[in-house]
Amino acid sequence: MVFRKPPDGGWGWVIVVVSFFTQFLCYGSPLAVGVLYLEWLDAFGEGKGKTAWVGSLANGIGLLASPVCSVCVSSFGARPVAIFSGFMVAGGLMMSSFAPNIYFLYVSYGIVVGLGCGLLYTATVTITCQYFDKRRGLALGLISTGSSVGLFIYAALQRELIELYGLDGCLLIVGALSLNILACGSLMRPLESSNSPPPEKTCVDIVPDQYFVYHEKEKTVEENISILEKGYIDEKCVNNVPDCKQDSVLNKNVLSSINVNEKDTYKKKVVEQTNFCKQLAKRKWQLYLTYWKETMVLFKNKVFSALFVAILLFDIGGFPPSLLMEDVARSANISEDDYYMPLISIIGIMTTVGKLVLGILADFKWVNTLYLYVTTLIMTGVALFAIPFAKSYLTLAMLSAILGFLTGNWSIFPYVTTKTVGIEKLTHAYGILMFFAGLGNSLGPPIVGWFYDWTQEYDTAFYFSGFCVLLGGFLLLLAALPCWNSCTNQSSKLPPNTYSYKVASNA
């Protein structure tokens, strides 16, 4: 599929609006799962680490399946994937209301809802990048605030619904709200060039099915008959020219009767289908080889390699606060009378602010997006180290606000990825990076929960989280230093659509 030049407006703003509401509806409940987490702890009586798997799977499984999500969006388009995923999210939430145990929630809430969210996230990011170029940072920042606004609203909404209708009624109502994703997905019109020539077909597509037999050494009855006919007529024409026409007519009559008697339609179709499958398997195998070759080329880029390590460590350490901060406050014996606003809601609203501010900053020519991203990682690590020292609601609220703002760096991550590998390889590279992000999301909360189960306090867990985030930030900073380009001259060897970050800051 050939896309025309991004319009940076027009229908693109409709795409931004529907993508915003798509992320709002699908990620509202999974990101605000900390409210449900407390209810599940009381309902099933399992450990913190075991119960934390539900929320971590919901936020991580979609990212783990990002390569598959990218293939789905590339193959079917953003609109069909968004509509199908809407059914998945709504169905998973409604199924969770009937969960008899924690293991059922692993599947219904963790896997089904999580996979639907992953498909929707990939679809919204991909189609937004196709519609925007110069304003890409702003557009990505706007759509990514949908999940943050969803976190802010759903944290209070789910708490109110639980008080009114119970946990089961809350999940049913939230699932019904998610069906609005179908309307949003129907508006994701693909950006295609109307005057561009159609893509060239491969040999397998051009050649009709019945001709696949000629690529093999197997001969059907019709082929053998045609060969005999040709040989017989040529011999008679050479030896006796006057009898040539008469023999030819006679031969055709004889051969037509042979054809009727000996032609086996079933065997012919089996042969044709077998050879078609061979050609198709050969073509698919070539596609798989090409995919892995392109993957190896991506990992030869040191910035991309450091980026996947950084996103893995960031999600291991940076994601748990959004899931466990409410339980951290309860473990610190903070009275509910001191609560002016749920801590998760504070994280959500400040994440919205962070995504907008960081997305706008990424569009300035004088801002190096990679260094901006590294700065958010280092500051996040410092804030995580400070959580064990927070013993009051005010200090926890301030740290929640800081962490929420810094978590807004998700809005510039697609921007950083695009500048690293180019728009043509965005879907491929972004799928790989989101796989490692999902791995971090899935492992982070259970690790923190296990630390609490072992030590009966959160201090050690958040020291570990802060160390992971700082390590990832410093590794990415080292990989992005300009001295590497001057020493190895790799910037001159990069593909046309790939930029070093020394140049990207002025691009």
Secondary structure (DSSP) of 384-426: HHHGGG--SHHHHHHHHHHHHHHHGGGGTHHHHHHHHH-GGGH
271 — pLDDT class (breaks 50, 70, 90): low
pLDDT at position 492, please? 40
Q: Let me know: does 47 contact 168? Beta carbons within 8 Å.
A: no
Question: What token pair was written down for 306?
Answer: 């450091």
Q: Which of 2-16, 221-235, 311-325, 365-379 has the lowest mean pLDDT?
A: 221-235
Instruction: Give the number of other Cβ atoms within 10 Å of residue 256's Cβ.
Output: 11
Question: What token pair was written down for 16?
Answer: 């931004």
Instruction: Give 452-494 pLDDT, tens digit per residue.
Output: 888 888 888 889 889 999 998 898 888 877 765 554 444 444 4
Alpha carbons within 13 angstroms on the beta-carbon side of residue 68 total 11
Instruction: Give 350-378 pLDDT, tens digit per residue.
Output: 888 888 888 788 878 888 888 888 899 99
Give the C-alpha distances (Å, rounded to integers) separating 54 from 27, 98, 259, 336, 445: 14, 15, 66, 25, 10
Say whether 392 sits in a helix, a strand or coil. coil
DSSP string, 86-103: HHHHHHHHHHHTT-SSHH
Q: Let me know: does 218 contact 270? Beta carbons within 8 Å.
A: no
Instruction: Give the number of other Cβ atoms within 10 Å of residue 49's Cβ.
Output: 18
Q: If you average pLDDT over every residue of the chain, what do you get?
A: 76
Label residue 68 left, alpha or beta by phi (over 0 means left) and psi (-120 to 50 means alpha): alpha
Euclidean distance between CA atoms 258 and 246, whole angstroms: 19
DSSP state of 366: T
Contacts of 11 (CB under 8 A, 6+ apart): 131, 189
Residue range 51-71: average pLDDT?
81
Burial class (CB in 10 A: 0-12, 13-18, 19+), 396: buried
Q: Who wins on pLDDT, 206 or 113? A: 113
Contacts of 431 (CB under 8 A, 6+ apart): 66, 67, 68, 69, 70, 71, 122
> Is the alpha carbon torsion for 71, 75, 76, 77 positive or negative?
positive
Structural domains of the chain, with CATH: 1-194 (1.20.1250.20), 273-483 (1.20.1250.20)
Q: Which of 207-216, 239-248, 382-391 has the lowest mean pLDDT?
A: 207-216
Answer whether residue 450 shows pLDDT above 80: yes
Rounded to 10 degrees, the C-alpha dihedral 33/430/506/357 comes to -10
pLDDT at position 277, please? 65
pTM of the model: 0.63
Answer whether residue 261 shows pLDDT above 60: no
Q: Let me know: does 44 contact 51? Beta carbons within 8 Å.
A: yes
Say whether 304 sits in a helix, a strand or coil. helix
Interior/surface letters 196-224, b for 16+ CB within 10 angstroms, e for the rest? eeeeeeeeeeeeeeeebbeeeeeebbeee
